[in-house]
Structure 1
Amino acid sequence: MRVLLIGGASGIGRSVAAEIVGRGGEVILGGRRADVLNDAVASLGPQASSVVVDLTDEASIAAAAAVEVGRVDHVVGLAADHANGPVAELDAADIRKAFDAKVIGPILVAKHFASIIADGGSLLFFSGVAAWKPATGLSVMATTNGAVAFLASALAVELAPIRVNAVSPGIVDSGAWDSMGSRKGEFFAETADSNPAGRVGRPDDVVSAVLYALTNTFVTGTTLHVDGGGQLV
């Protein structure tokens, strides 16, 4: 299995990359910062490589597809660029960056990479629970994540037989919440108390969903919710 992970140099993406490599696969890590990519590649070993891809720059995406990456089995898009805060205080440039990362960029990835995805391959994009559980200050996140789910369905029809799916994680202890400091434990406890699953997510919960989406050739146009039932409450 040869997989391009865009935005896969850290967090959940890094965990996905490590699992694929551990199973004998090959990963290409894509992102904007060569130094971060190189550090991740060094830790993953000889079955990993990197390519600079900027989802705000179509020429960068096109070059990666036409010249640098080569044929792949799957492309996974994990990139995000948040524009959180009250609507009255949002900056237009930040909103556009959020859409570039989650919506426009993935459309351009599909445009340029569909022709080099191997038979039986797929595209997989990351959505998120905010789309199904709106909250004050997260209107842009809810909208972009929701758009990912609809995009997966639309592309699954247009690009068939290439499969296209989405994964929608909930609150996962992936390191993304560490900046909360001492508040993190309280937040996780509150989330666990309200989730039907009774806990927050672990990176391996999402990794297993990603592998399912990549390897089950009868799943397409689907959003896999990996949120402990968080969108239901």
Structure 2
Amino acid sequence: MGHRLNGKRVLVIGGAKYLGKSVAQAAADEGAVVVLGARDEKLAWSVVAELGGDHAQDHSAIHLDVADEPSILAAAQSLGEVDHVVITASAHHNVPVADLEHDGILNAVEAKIIGPMLVAKHFAPRMPSTGSFLLFSGTAAWNPSAGLTVMGVTNGAVAFIASQLAHELAPVRVNAISPGITDSGTWDDLDEEGRTGMYDSAAAGSLAGRVGTTDDIADAAVWLLAAEYVSGETIHVDGGSRHA
């Protein structure tokens, strides 16, 4: 257990499950006071009870839906100043182009593009100059694949959002992480055969020879939150899959 985030207030949006939950745990382990923002506030509170860390009694949860600006504003007004905001929320529409649906595309765009910009709008004025935003992109933007067009486009946009916001919100920092295929629970909707096949293929296409773990991503997230001289960057935590 370290202290890189000792006493810092860290809001993790989408922190009730998958990568967000792991990032929240890592932040707590580094001494942060964690707030979980989620659509399912009851689930978020159940995760809060498991976080531990030096400030276990101070962790909390709040309702926040990145696709609903009033809920973003309400959360910002309720929380007041936060040091760091991590946005892991996402929505998937992984289908071939021939099967694309307007609402599916819009849901993904709201979660990965519109939502983070509105979060920045309402939380940046409440941040100290040493604060930061951490967004989540993904390998689909740099490794195109049939059926993942929406994911690739929205993940690619996140990298540009980080760069643009870093310029406009400075000295508040804005960065993004682009994870490779990670065994985080995100793909549990696939049957076991499909999931195993995808992981095997991803491992073969990675210089690291394996898929990512939630610890891989959470470690990078904590580093970026604490790295006060890094802004506007997208850090690829993908086992070198872009170069394989």
TM-score range for the pair, normalised by the shorter chain length: over 0.9
Hey, which bits of structure 1, 4+ residues long, moved more than 6 A?
none
In the TM superposition, 1:1-233 aligns within 5 A as: 1-44=8-51, 45-66=56-77, 68-180=78-190, 181-233=192-244
Aligned partners of 1:7 and 1:29 also within 8 Å:
yes
Deviation at 1:58, TM superposition (A): 0.9
Query: In structure 1, what is the Cα distance between the partners aligned to 2:167 and 2:124?
Result: 13
Is the Cα–Cα contact under 8 Å of residues 21 and 47 in structure 1 kept in the other structure? no
Distance 2:13 2:36 in 1: 6
Unmatched tracts of structure 2, length 5 or more: 1-7
Superposed CA deviations along residues 186-225 of structure 1, whole A, max 9, x for unmatched, are 3322221221111111111101110111111110000000
Amino acid at match of 2:46: D
Whether the aligned pair in 2 keeps the contact of 1:73 and 1:117 (CA below 8 Å) is yes
Once residues 177 and 141 of structure 1 are traced to their aligned partners in structure 2, the CA distance between those partners, rounded to angstroms, is 14
Could you tell me which amino acid in structure 1 is paired with residue 60 of structure 2? S
User: 1:82·1:94 contact (CA, 8 Å) conserved in 2?
Assistant: yes
Contact 2:141 2:151 in 1 (8 A): yes
Looking at secondary structure, tell me which structure has more strand per residue.
1
Structure 1 length as normaliser, TM-score? Answer: 0.95
Q: Distance in 2 between matches of 1:207 and 1:111?
A: 25
SS of aligned partner of 1:178: coil
TM-score (norm 2): 0.91
In the alignment, residue 34 of structure 1 is paired with which amino acid?
Answer: E
1:89 to 1:183, Cα distance in 2 relative to 1, 3 A? closer
Q: Is 190-199 or 222-231 further displaced after alignment? A: 190-199
Tell me, what secondary structure is at the counterpart of 2:57? coil
| Distance in 2 of aligned mates of 1:160 and 1:119 | 8
Return the alpha-carbon distance in structure 1 between the equivalents of residues 144 and 129 of structure 2: 38
Q: CA contact under 8 A between 2:26 and 2:219: conserved in structure 1?
A: no
